[in-house]
Structure 1
Amino acid sequence: MVKAVFIDFYGTLVHEDGAIIRKVSQIIFDTGVVQNYSDIGSYWWNEFQTMFHNAYGESFVTQRELEYRSLQKTIEHFHSTADAAELCEMMFRHWTAPPAFPKAKVFLEACLVPVYIVSNIDTSDINKAIAFHSFMPDGVFTSEDARSYKPRSELFAYAMRKTGFSPYEVVHIGDSLSSDVKGAGAAGIKAIWINRSDKTVPDGVIAVNNLLDIFGTSFFRE
């Protein structure tokens, strides 16, 4: 049996900001020069990902700043009259008060080993979100702490260093195959994929449909 759980936050315990992103994209579509609505999301995502993957160590940039920069570039690209700061605030409000998934709080309270949140988000925002739901994890480690984002290994290494656990003593839980499953694997940590959409499960990946099913996996039955 594992001695501790590392768990992702957005997309795992609480909802991502997909609905807000669609609303922001619609505003850019309505105020810009755009032929296809889908082009907005594609361009914005590519800009964000480029900046995101270069943000580590001395070049680290907070999630809020990455969001603002990528959105500003998107607005400019599509000649929109929208205000990047105003649109970002819509996302930031979601980050600090996101809806929780059913049983998220039950999982945190029922887990018999310590649970540590490991998240690609700014420290202040996630602390506000945790307080909003009255979650009580045993610790919180963010990209801002480690100056690195998942799937790079630095955030996982930082969490292990702070908790004193080895890779073999923890399991990481998350909804992203790339950031959570592959990222944890690169740090030597086994992972459980939260697959709520019943997508095809890659070979070698342990997947569950909801948080409470995690207790039925081999990690909690050894």
Structure 2
Amino acid sequence: MKFLGIKAICFDYYNTLVNIGQPFTDIRNWFERFLKSKNDQISVEQFNMCFTKQRAKYICHSDFMTGSSILEESYRRTCEKYNVEHSLHAFNTFVYHLFRSPQAYEDARHTIEQLKDKYMVALITNADNDVLYESMDSQGFAFDYVISSEDARCNKPGKAIFDKALQDMHMQNNELLMVGDSLQEDILGAKQQGINAIWVNRDHDVNAYNVTMVDSLNQMLQFL
């Protein structure tokens, strides 16, 4: 099946173009080192579970918060609950480098360069601007448009971030193609707004929604 009438290709960033792996496993491991230095009687699994629940509350909150603010407040409140002195500077520094340092997938830059010959290429991503732009610069990415959750004040799969992309790019929804690794945030989020989508499913998860799927970026070219 070919996608017809497409004028712009919109990519997610983390784990679509760059490989960040499992960042919340890395954060959990940071907690383990942190607790050993503060109070090794506290269960790292319980501490991490509390952090995860706090983070979920902030994500679902009606008022938008940046990703870094959500992580910082979740960590701070978890420390308060366990009566342990926080290390906010160390935590924030760790998180910043975690999201700044991922390396591009091998086929990412080449695929984007091929697409630029025919299409507008954009980024629609749940990310904070400071770390996102540093990461993009370090990996040599350049896009016609960048629509971040911080700019839109909305995270995918929310409607507002896709609406901002359409408005900024002066496109109709059937002229965009969303490409991402998250079935819920990228693919179903886009399709709910009438935007075509390709799921980059490198882990070969079950395709329960029967969406268009590839296991590498360069495979998407066959659908254009």
TM-score range, shorter chain: 0.7 to 0.9
Q: TM-score scaled by structure 2?
A: 0.87
Secondary structure of the residue that 1:45 maps to in structure 2? helix
Matched with 1:121 is 127
- Superposition deviation, residue 79 in structure 1: 4.0
Aligned match for 1:76, one of 77, 80, 101: 80
Check 1:207–1:25 CA distance in 2 against 1; reply closer, same or farther (3 A cut): farther
Q: Distance in 1 between matches of 2:198 and 2:190?
A: 10
Q: Is 1:51 the counterpart of 2:58 in the alignment?
A: yes
- Superposition deviation, residue 73 in structure 1: 1.9
Secondary structure of the residue that 2:31 maps to in structure 1? helix
Q: Is 1:160 the counterpart of 2:166 in the alignment?
A: yes
Aligned match for 1:34, one of 30, 42, 65: 42
Q: Distance in 2 between matches of 1:145 and 1:100?
A: 23
Q: Distance in 2 between matches of 1:85 and 1:186?
A: 39
Matched with 1:151 is 157
Matching of residues 5-24 of structure 1 within 5 Å:
5-16=9-20, 17-18=23-24, 20-24=26-30
Q: Is 1:63 the counterpart of 2:71 in the alignment?
A: no
Q: Distance in 1 between matches of 2:193 and 2:75?
A: 31
Q: Is 1:132 the counterpart of 2:138 in the alignment?
A: yes
Q: Which moved more, 1:9-18 or 1:80-89?
A: 80-89
Q: Distance in 1 between matches of 2:214 and 2:149?
A: 25
Check 1:151–1:24 CA distance in 2 against 1; reply closer, same or farther (3 A cut): same
Q: Deviations over 1:151-203 (max 9, x none)?
A: 11100100110001111111111111111112112222121111111111113
Q: Deviations over 1:62-82 (max 9, x none)?
A: 221111001112233344444
Q: Is 1:200 the counterpart of 2:206 in the alignment?
A: yes
Structure 2 regions of 5+ residues with no counterpart? none
RMSD value over aligned CA atoms? 1.9
Q: TM-score scaled by structure 1?
A: 0.88
- Superposition deviation, residue 147 in structure 1: 0.9
Contact 1:3–1:114 under 8 Å retained in 2: yes
Count of residue correspondences:
214
- Superposition deviation, residue 137 in structure 1: 1.4
Percent sequence identity over aligned pairs: 24
- Superposition deviation, residue 150 in structure 1: 0.9
Secondary structure of the residue that 2:198 maps to in structure 1? strand
- Superposition deviation, residue 3 in structure 1: 1.2
Q: Deviations over 1:7-29 (max 9, x none)?
A: 11011111233453243232244
- Superposition deviation, residue 94 in structure 1: 2.4
Q: Distance in 1 between matches of 2:166 and 2:218?
A: 24
Contact 1:5–1:115 under 8 Å retained in 2: yes
Contact 1:28–1:75 under 8 Å retained in 2: no
